[in-house]
Amino acid sequence: MAYEKHWANNDKINATEKQKLKMDGLEIFQKIPEYARSGFASIPKEEWPMFKWAGLYLQRPREEGYFMMRVCIPSGILNYDQVVTLAGIARDYGRGIYDITTRQAVQFHWLRIEDIPDIFERLKRVGLSTAGACGDITRNIVGNPLAGIDPDELLDTTPIVREVYETFQHNPDFSNLPRKYKVSISANQKNASNAEINCVAFTPAVKTIDGEEVKGFHVKVGGGLSSRPYLAETLDLFIRPEEVKKVTVAITTIFRDYGYREKRTRNRLKFLMADWGPERFKEKVLEYTGPLPTKGTDMLTDWNAGYFYGVHPQKQEGLNYIGLNVPMGRLTADEVLELARVSNKYGNGEIRNCSSQNLVIPHVPDDQVETLLQEEIFKRISVDPPKFIGYAVSCTGIEYCNLALVETKERMRKIAEFLDKQVEVDVPVRIHMVGCPNSCGQRQIADIGLQGIKMKSKETKELVDAFEIHVGGTLKQGGEFNRKLKGKIDSQHLPAVLKQFLLHFKEQKQPEESFHSFVHRVGVDKLQQVLDEILERTLPKVAS
Ligand code: SF4
């Protein structure tokens, strides 16, 4: 279906928009084989950003010509052949590094343009793709990692996610959106795919229609993080499972044709939604879809933040899924191969990625669970991790990311390990670290969000890595973003400051009180005072 790019005559559109008018992002797929033969130096610089449409970013420093590659994994669900293929790519081309992202995808690093055709071929053989993993296009569709096996799901979303994913894959009608576009489709009643922070999110709902109870979805629109975060708002619509594709196409068309294309910082769907409001947005959706019922009953009951540690019964009797911790979402290729072997031996070979950067191995029969847990790999990839390492999330950071101000993954891992030795607390505290104001590590929904900045050290007067602390984020009860406490903390003092801050939480909290409830009970002003005192007491030279 051809469509008119009505913005083509607007001379205020940003430079990326101008480039997208010259060359559609998906065209890079045709050019990659030629560039693989002629080498990195033959790629015109203005085409570098277009590689995103093929899931490829140049890692820092760009001039060295190494790529990061992101692979789409709808709902995070991988079969055995796919896991082995991904591990093989990491081993053969990516220096053995295998990263699980907060959108259930997998990322590789250190790829050269010469490697890409073979990698694409390997992915194609097992039904995987990088198309749309990055760029101004429909990104990896996130969903319930337990789809089909979940005692907490209203319905199995696997076929719906597949249908929507295939609709948008390599689809030139939707390859030129104003900005990145994130879709979530989940019927997990504990909001395992973080609905409210997506551009579009389908969440479980029921409605009585003609005397019959129908299972389906509500739809939330306009969520997103980054420096101006918004929580998605629910439209007054009820969507039957067979209508999810139609509604997604309608919303994506609205974004493409009415979304903003001038300032790059104001192009996400959240800004259009904020200007229009849910009522106007709903009316526009109905123009495309035809009549839809109004809202039914919301079936979201809680938020589990994408954590599933331990052994749990599936909805299929006699089978279990095992939730595992992957510290900071990073595995080696050998570890992935070993997990694939274990999953194939005791389960059906599947591995499922969670939004918490962790894994699930499904389909383990009752009588195999104990033997499976004896496997050596589970000493590091634990079913019962310590509290801080188990609930720490980190973005890629300066190791590979061009936008990063500071290193994150290794730093977050060390801090979490330190806190596990120093602070014993009865509830998990979710700490997320990001290397810049963007939100690949979803800092805004963390109990404690740590955002990297640069500051002049008061001790050495040199520019050093530092962090700002944000407290009290959640997606429970509709969601709330965390709030910044004043003060910049030199990274070398960060572990000690966090330790004291968390010891205060431990001493002042009520039994079983969550960090989020604690923040609400004592208030951000009180926590600011606590942080100020910690900085004054321990870091008199660096307190700001
Ligand atoms: Fe890079 Fe910032 Fe994303 Fe971290 S949050 S990976 S530093 S863009």
| 294-350 residue pLDDT tens | 999 999 999 999 999 999 999 999 999 999 999 999 999 999 999 999 999 999 999
Question: How many residues in total does the chain contain?
Answer: 544
Q: Which two tokens stand for residue 501?
A: 């801050």
Ligand 1: residue of 52, 62, 264, 401 to mutate (most ligand atoms within 8 A of CB) is 401
379 has catalytic annotation: no
70 has catalytic annotation: yes
Question: ω before 61 within 30° of 0 (cis)?
Answer: yes
Q: What is the pLDDT of residue 517?
A: 97
- Rounded to the nearest whole angstrom, what is the distance from the C-alpha of residue 210 to the centroid of ligand 1? 49
Nearest atom, ligand 1, residue 435 CA: 7
Q: What is the pLDDT of residue 542?
A: 45
Give CA–CA dist 441/436, Å, rounded.
10
The residues near 164 (Cβ < 8 Å, ≥ 6 apart) are 141, 183, 185, 244, 245, 248
Nearest atom, ligand 1, residue 439 CA: 5
- Asked whether the beta carbons of 395 and 441 are under 8 A apart, the reply is yes
Q: What is the pLDDT of residue 1?
A: 66
Q: Which two tokens stand for residue 492?
A: 């070398």
Query: What is the DSSP secondary structure assignment for residue 489, as one 8-state letter?
Result: E
Q: How large is the angle between the packed helices 515-522 and 524-538, nearest 10 degrees?
A: 100
**Which positions of the chain have pLDDT values less than 50?**
542-544
Give CA–CA dist 296/61, Å, rounded.
51
Q: What is the pLDDT of residue 544?
A: 44
Cα–Cα distances (Å) from 476 to 68, 128, 133, 514, in that order, read: 33, 33, 28, 12
List, for residues 193-228, the tens digit of each pLDDT value: 999 999 999 999 999 999 999 999 999 999 999 889
Please give the single-letter amino acid code of residue 402.
Answer: N
Please give the single-letter amino acid code of residue 220.
Answer: K
435 has catalytic annotation: yes
According to DSSP, the residues that pair with 218 across neighbouring strands are 203
180 has catalytic annotation: yes
Give CA–CA dist 240/201, Å, rounded.
14
Quick count: other Cβ atoms within 10 Å of Cβ 319? 18
Chain centroid to Cα 19, Å, comes to: 27
Cα–Cα distances (Å) from 29 to 23, 36, 52, 105, 117, in that order, read: 12, 11, 10, 20, 10
Cα–Cα distances (Å) from 130 to 175, 268, 470, in that order, read: 13, 21, 33
62 has catalytic annotation: no
pTM metric for this prediction: 0.96
Q: Are strands 77-78 and 319-324 parallel, antiparallel or unpaired?
A: unpaired
Query: What is the DSSP secondary structure assignment for residue 477, as one 8-state letter?
Result: G
- Rounded to the nearest whole angstrom, what is the distance from the C-alpha of residue 76 to the centroid of ligand 1? 21
Q: Which residue has the tokens 């510290």?
A: 327
Ligand 1 interacting residues, C-beta cut-off 6 A:
395-397, 401, 403-404, 434-436, 438-441
Ligand 1: residue of 407, 438, 444 to mutate (most ligand atoms within 8 A of CB) is 438
Strands (E) located in 85-186: 97-100, 106-111, 142-143, 183-185
